[in-house]
């Protein structure tokens, strides 16, 4: 299972990344490896949203999809990595 963690530059285990796009509005992408249940990507997305907003009151615009990873060496292979990505709108408390 993919651990809950910030995605690294060479992260081969998945993770989350986020960017503040306006005050109180963030874009979050959560990615888990192909061996992890796709629902975990969405769980991690919401966990990060709560951390960024400081509470659980927010509006979410999030979709689930898959990233295709290609490994060319030594044998070409592809895998589908579950993702959840979208905007979180933090509500003022």
In tens digits, what is the pLDDT along the chain, a chain of 93 residues? 899 999 987 666 799 999 999 999 999 999 999 889 999 999 999 999 999 999 989 999 999 999 988 877 778 888 899 999 999 999 986
Contacts of 87 (CB under 8 A, 6+ apart): 21, 25, 26, 27, 28, 60, 61, 62
Place of tokens 């490994």: 71
pLDDT reported for residue 69: 80
- Within 35-76, strands assigned E span 58-71
Is the pTM here over 0.85, yes or no?
Answer: yes
């Amino acid at each position: 299972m993919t651990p809950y963690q910030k995605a690294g530059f060479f992260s081969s285990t998945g993770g989350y990344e986020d960017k503040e796009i306006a005050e109180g509005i963030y874009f979050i992408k959560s990615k888990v490896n192909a061996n992890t249940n796709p629902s975990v990507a969405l769980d991690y997305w919401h966990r990060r949203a709560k951390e960024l907003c400081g509470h659980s009151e927010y509006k979410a615009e999030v979709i689930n999809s898959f990233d295709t990873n290609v490994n060319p060496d030594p044998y070409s292979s592809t895998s589908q990595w579950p993702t959840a990505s979208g905007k979180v709108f933090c509500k003022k408390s």
